Chains A and B, each alone.
Chain A
Amino acid sequence: MDKKTHKDPAKTSAELPSVDLNPPEVQPQKPPAPPAERTIELPEELRKRTVKGPGGVEIEVEPLRDYYCEAPPTVMPAAYSKIVEDLFNWARAESIWILGFGTGCGAIEMRPLMTPRYDAYRYGIQWRPTPRQANLFVISGYLSVKTLKRAIRSYEQMQNPKYVVGLGSCTINGGMYWDSYNTIKRLDEYLPVDLYITGCMPRPEALLAGFMDLKRMIRAGEAEGANKYAEYFDWYKANQKRVIKDWDMPDYSW
């Protein structure tokens, strides 16, 4: 898997070509062989159970079915009129809300962006505490398998259109965690990445330059990661399930 071509990590973010949104090299029709069926014991709060209501009414609760949406995501079309879509794309580019979820050590490079030294707010970039309101997920550095599980669920709760930026070399090829037993190596096998910012660590300036690149892509209508995720949903799910051994959650959590 690791021999496949991917974007050159030696390039700085400013030199990165506009990221191609071609489908992943692996054909989606042939997902890697799914692992043999495992029986995973669900945590107690996710098991089917009967709850007694206030009036003595017995309610049957099946959390995986009741609390989550099972339907896979669908490809969402752009607005009918090009002018409207261009307006929306401009607004999306000028109003980037980042999910405040530091997945790895790179998150520390985002803090200077919120504070007076680099102040990203003047570019319309701000941090939101909940995935529902966020558009951009910055995977900040190495991603352990445990965190990947949370990252996937957070990503799926974000609303279309949504963008993923891989920060640091760990998201590109594993970086210094290349031979670690519990981190993933290539982020774009699990989530549709729009842009990589290379370095270990990239400076806040590099992040700002990367965000500017992302803005250009969004305005040009090239950042369609959410639709890509919906289109190759099976491929992404198969990849995710291959590394996440204790898959005790619904396949798609909105």
Chain B
Amino acid sequence: MGFEWIKIPYSLLTLFIVVNYGLLLNALIAKIAARVGRRHGIPIWQNYVDMIKNYGLRTSITHGVMFYMGPVFRLSGGVGLLLFVPTIYGSVMFSNLSFAGDLILALYFVFFGTLGMALGAGESGHPYAAIGVSRGLAQVTAAELPFALAVFAVALQYETLSVTEIVAAQQGSYLNWTLFTNPFAVAAAMLSFLGSMMRPPFDVVLAPQEIPIGPPTEYHSSYLALMQTNRAIFPIAKMVVYMNLFFGGAVSWPIFFVKIFLIYMVSVLVGVVFPRFHVEHSVRWFLIWAVPLGVIAVAIV
């Protein structure tokens, strides 16, 4: 099987669209959250300005090799997740580098960035970073369990590990979506989704008011800008996986934008209503409410 080189510029185009959409979407979400608190909120282009500012700082210091690699791992987790999953179903241009077993790779990439961050933040030597990372890993692991169960259920249901084929099986009518054919899996996955979006009630890891900002305590200038770039890519990439697995994928960019926005709004709405959980609370919450749903989903398939 030959490799089609044209896929590389096509994938970069996908990446470009997603980065810009992510930056604007993040600002829009911040604005929505601000409006809930009756504030005006940040300007819609604020994320771009912040990134230029951070790339433009004149000094930066390092704590060692892993300190450099942390944001790089994090970014490659986001980019990798995005590139190995088809963004637009049925489009040659935007099916990216997807292949037969990409579902497993996607699962791996979801976790990859967090691990990279753990290494980087650990090297920074700041106690808050270490506490933040251990909290983050505990919470992400707990949130990952129901998601993994949901993915198993979906893979069993469609008898494939290819995201493209899973999307193909959901075409035709919205009643074919996994949301309706296997609601337990979707419920478990959406609860897990809340936990991995770094929004309240599960944002104690990164919350500035807790141990100051957790893992990125020591990160600044270009390192922080890399991580901000990832903050634009990673949620979108993750939602692309969700959209493909559970909500019928997208056949064009407008549908993609709308679906991603709506999936994001789930976590935003929950976030503006509920206060923050402690990590031990959220771990318990995932194990009590989300994991059984995942087990049921696997059991009834």
Contact = CB atoms under 8 A, between A and B. Distances in A.
B265 to A, nearest CB: 21
A51 interface: no
Contact of A76 (B53, B58, B216): B58
Nearest to B219: A132
Interface in B40-77: 40-43, 46, 49-50, 52-53, 56-61
A52 interface: no
B60 A121 contact: no
- Tell which of A76, A94, A95 has the most Cβ of chain B within 10 Å: A95
Given A95-B46, A116-B39, A124-B49, A130 B212 contact: yes
A116 B37 contact: yes
A91 B61 CA distance: 21
Contact of B46 (A115, A124, A226): A124
Contact of A159 (B38, B42, B59): B59
Contacts of A67: 125
Interface in A158-180: 159-161
Interface string A124-135: 101111101101
A94 B45 CA distance: 10
B219 A133 contact: yes
Interface residues of A, number: 32
B223 to A, nearest CB: 9
A205 interface: no
A61 interface: no
Contacts of A119: 34, 39-41
B7 interface: no
- Chain B: interface size category: 20 to 34
Contacts of A121: 34, 39-42
B221 interface: yes
Contacts of B287: none
B218 to A, nearest CB: 6
B127 interface: no
A95 B53 contact: yes
Nearest to A119: B39
A247 interface: no
20 contacts: A78-B58, A87-B56, A88-B53, A91-B50, A94-B49, A95-B49, A95-B52, A95-B53, A115-B39, A119-B34, A119-B41, A121-B41, A124-B42, A124-B46, A129-B212, A129-B213, A133-B219, A133-B224, A159-B57, A159-B59
